[in-house]
């Protein structure tokens, strides 16, 4: 293998012209013969027993040329990439140069490579950073969420009101006939939850156990096409009316839902956790705004292959998230009426942003000469172990040292930007003022 030329092209691509010599091609021809000899028949020989020269004489000298070229090109390309010290980021396109003969051949491989990156400003950047506070109302709302989760439904002998849950049978009729999805038994429905078609829940307020009622409902125009805008009747029977019973906010409640003995201690902890959450969110938003500026500021001729690779990665992540939620990606495609190519296209803009950010971070690591120590790696391993509640040695089985090193270097690069940045107070939101005719002044402008 001989590299005849290595030409830089636009969009961070290189064109390698590679020559395969007679000896190298001969070895590939022999491999092609051994691979295919059993499937090639020659009169007078049993399958697989005809010599190569006999096959070439009978079928022509070039019988194994194409197969041999497919055998030799990948290894020759890899060797050329290594020889030229290229950082390729995608698959090459290959085309022959001239004819293939027993003496060898020449081919041209065009491949995308990691682009040259020039950073813009990445130190001393400005970004807005929200001030964080927690009010008594915030604390009360968070505690109410916990109280809601620890409440229970109890049956009451009275008419239903908003906020109650009713246990009902219902059957929907369109033109006097049941329709698909319009029937259920012993269904629990919270009145006021707006989980049913508009008008359904409101008509059940005032009902009590044992009541039967016909509900006149007109489906919205944007509803499922089979029922959009249609008038139907729901026959409903009420079995139970239930109200939600909440625990008292006292020391017993605190002991049930936390590790604290008193409600005052629990309340203080809720306040501290809310403050911590909001500080983290504010810091993350500040960091994201800064890193977006850094990513937008780079100059790089990004090859299309890098963006496409990131799109594919986003797609795979999306499929895994759906699977972990018990959903099928194929059902999503069918339900939305889209295609995989459309999903990939929707991912293009975020993919390009991610690629620019990754390039920026890698260049900061390079320009700042950032390094990772063994202590850095061990601390990162421990952080992952704590985050996922796993044993340290178990984490090391799933996460490689190189992945940990990349994680540490990324954090150090981000710290270079964030630690030197200047936090600005958010600009006050202007309130829209009503403009009255008498407030408008018309100024006459005359030409010179």
Please provide the average confidence, as pLDDT, over all residues in the chain.
92
pLDDT value at residue 428: 78
184: left (phi over 0), alpha (psi -120 to 50) or beta: beta
Residue 110: exposure state from Cβ atoms within 10 A (0-12, 13-18, ≥19): middle
- Dist. CA 66–CA 70, nearest whole Å: 6
CA distances from 13 to 8, 18, 80, 90 (A): 6, 16, 15, 10
- Dist. CA 106–CA 1, nearest whole Å: 10
Nearest C-alpha neighbor of 31 from the set 52, 15, 47, 45: 52
Joined together, the tokens standing for residue 184 give 């259920």
Q: Which residue has the tokens 């500021």?
A: 297
Cβ pair 165, 242 in contact under 8 A: yes
pLDDT value at residue 11: 86
- Dist. CA 92–CA 107, nearest whole Å: 12
pLDDT value at residue 447: 34
Joined together, the tokens standing for residue 300 give 């790089």
Check pLDDT > 80 for residue 190: yes
Check pLDDT > 70 for residue 431: no
Check pLDDT > 70 for residue 434: no
pLDDT value at residue 430: 59
pLDDT value at residue 58: 93
Confidence of residue 245 (pLDDT cuts 50, 70, 90): very high
Q: What residues contact residue 347 under an 8 Å CB cut-off, 6+ apart?
A: 310, 311, 314, 315, 318
Q: Which of 10-14, 140-144, 289-293 has the lowest mean pLDDT?
A: 10-14
Mean pLDDT of 259-265: 97
- Dist. CA 88–CA 90, nearest whole Å: 6
pLDDT value at residue 406: 94
Check pLDDT > 90 for residue 435: no
The CA R_g of the chain, rounded to the nearest whole Å, is 35
Check pLDDT > 90 for residue 76: yes
What percent of the chain clears pLDDT 90, i.e. is strictly above it?
A: 84
pLDDT value at residue 432: 43
Domains of the chain: 2-113 (3.30.70.1050), 152-245 (3.10.50.40), 264-424 (1.10.3120.10)
pLDDT value at residue 444: 36
Residue 367: exposure state from Cβ atoms within 10 A (0-12, 13-18, ≥19): middle
Report DSSP state, residue 88: B
Cβ pair 96, 393 in contact under 8 A: no
Residue 241: exposure state from Cβ atoms within 10 A (0-12, 13-18, ≥19): buried
Sign of CA dihedral 371, 374, 375, 376: positive
Cβ pair 208, 195 in contact under 8 A: no
Q: pLDDT digit string (tens) for 90-103? A: 899 999 999 999 99
- Dist. CA 230–CA 324, nearest whole Å: 37
Mean pLDDT of 132-148: 96
pLDDT value at residue 224: 78
pLDDT value at residue 274: 97
What percent of the chain clears pLDDT 70, i.e. is strictly above it?
A: 96
Virtual torsion, Cα 224, 229, 232, 238, nearest 10 deg? 70
Confidence of residue 437 (pLDDT cuts 50, 70, 90): very low
């Amino acid at each position: 293998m001989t590299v005849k030329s290595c030409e830089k092209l636009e969009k961070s691509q290189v064109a390698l012209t590679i020559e395969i010599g007679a000896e190298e091609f001969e070895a590939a021809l022999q491999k092609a013969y051994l691979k295919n000899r059993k499937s090639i028949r020659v009169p007078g020989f049993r399958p697989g027993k005809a010599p190569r020269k006999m096959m070439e004489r009978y079928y022509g000298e070039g019988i194994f040329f194409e197969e041999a070229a497919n055998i030799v090109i990948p290894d020759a390309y890899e060797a050329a990439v290594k020889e030229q010290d290229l950082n390729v980021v995608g698959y090459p396109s290959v085309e022959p140069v001239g004819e293939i003969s027993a003496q060898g051949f020449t081919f041209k491989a065009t491949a995308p490579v990691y682009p040259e990156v020039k950073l813009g400003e990445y130190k001393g950047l400005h970004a807005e950073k929200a001030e964080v506070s927690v009010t008594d109302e915030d604390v009360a709302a968070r505690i109410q969420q916990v109280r809601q989760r620890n409440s229970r439904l109890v049956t009451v002998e009275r008419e239903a009101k908003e906020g109650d849950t009713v246990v009902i049978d219902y059957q929907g009729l369109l033109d006097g006939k049941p329709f698909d999805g319009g029937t259920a038994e012993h269904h629990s429905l919270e009145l006021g939850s707006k989980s049913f078609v508009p008008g359904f829940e409101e008509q059940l307020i005032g009902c009590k156990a044992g009541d039967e009622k016909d509900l006149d409902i007109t489906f919205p125009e944007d509803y499922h096409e089979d029922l959009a805008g249609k008038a139907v009747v729901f026959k409903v029977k009420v079995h139970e009316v239930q109200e939600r019973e909440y625990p008292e906010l006292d020391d017993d409640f605190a002991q049930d839902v936390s590790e604290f003995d008193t409600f005052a201690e629990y309340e203080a902890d809720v306040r501290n956790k809310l403050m911590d959450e909001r500080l983290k969110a504010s810091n993350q938003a500040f960091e994201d705004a800064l890193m977006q500026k850094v990513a937008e500021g780079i100059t790089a001729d990004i090859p299309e292959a890098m963006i496409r690779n990131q799109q594919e990665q986003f797609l795979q992540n999306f499929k895994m998230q759906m699977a972990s939620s018990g959903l099928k990606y194929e059902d999503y495609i069918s339900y939305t009426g889209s295609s995989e190519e459309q999903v990939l296209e929707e991912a293009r803009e975020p993919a390009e942003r991610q690629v620019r950010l990754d390039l920026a971070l890698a260049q900061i690591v390079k320009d700042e000469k950032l390094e990772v120590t063994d202590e850095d790696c061990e601390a990162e391993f421990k952080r992952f172990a704590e985050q996922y509640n796993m044993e340290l040695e178990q984490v090391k089985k799933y996460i490689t040292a190189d992945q940990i090193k990349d994680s540490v270097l990324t954090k150090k690069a981000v710290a270079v930007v964030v630690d030197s940045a200047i936090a600005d107070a958010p600009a006050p939101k202007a309130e829209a003022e009503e403009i009255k005719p008498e407030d408008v002044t018309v100024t006459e402008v005359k030409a010179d």
